[in-house]
Structure 1
Amino acid sequence: MPESKPQIELLVVFFGGMIGGAARYLLSLVPLVGTWPAMTVLINTVGTGLLACLAAYMKEKQEKPAYLQSFLGTGILGGFTTFGALMVESQQMIKNSHYLFLVLLWVASLALAFLALHFGEKFGRKLSYPQAKGADHVA
Structure 2
Amino acid sequence: MGARQRLAPPADPGFAPLSRTGPSALPAAAPSRKGGSLLVLAGGTAGTLARYGVEQSLPAGEGMPWGTLTVNLTGALVLGLFLGAMAARGAETPARRATRLALGTGVLGGYTTYSTFAVETDRLVRDGWPALALAYVVVSLVAGVVAALVGLRLGGRTAPTSGGSAAPVDPDGDSTATPRAAPEPTSDDGRDR
CA distance in 1, matches of 2:55, 2:123: 18
Deviation readout 1:77-120 (Å, 9 max, x if unpaired): 00000000001001112222311111110111122212211221
Q: Secondary structure at the match of 1:108?
A: helix
How far does residue 127 in structure 1 lie from its aligned partner after superposition? 2.4
Aligned to 1:22: 49
Aligned to 2:118: 87
How far does residue 55 in structure 1 lie from its aligned partner after superposition? 1.4
TM-score, length of structure 2 as denominator length: 0.61
Unaligned runs of 5+ residues in structure 2 are 1-26, 162-193
Aligned to 2:24: none
Aligned to 1:126: 157
1:37-52 aligned within 5 A: 37-52=65-80
Query: Larger radius of gyration, structure 1 or 2?
Result: 2
Give the aligned length.
128
Deviation readout 1:33-68 (Å, 9 max, x if unpaired): 333611111110000011111111111213642400
Give the number of the structure whose residues are more often helix, by fraction: 1
CA distance in 2, matches of 1:34, 1:123: 31
1:36-115 aligned within 5 A: 37-62=65-90, 64=93, 65-66=95-96, 67-115=98-146
CA distance in 1, matches of 2:145, 2:33: 32
Aligned to 1:5: 32
How far does residue 123 in structure 1 lie from its aligned partner after superposition? 1.7
How far does residue 4 in structure 1 lie from its aligned partner after superposition? 2.0
Identity of aligned residues (%): 25
TM-score, length of structure 1 as denominator length: 0.83
Unaligned runs of 5+ residues in structure 1 are 131-139
How far does residue 122 in structure 1 lie from its aligned partner after superposition? 1.6
Aligned Cα root-mean-square deviation (Å)? 1.7
Tell me which of the two structures has the higher relative contact order, counting C-alpha pairs closer than 8 angstroms and 6 or more residues apart. 1
Letter in 1 for 2:66: A
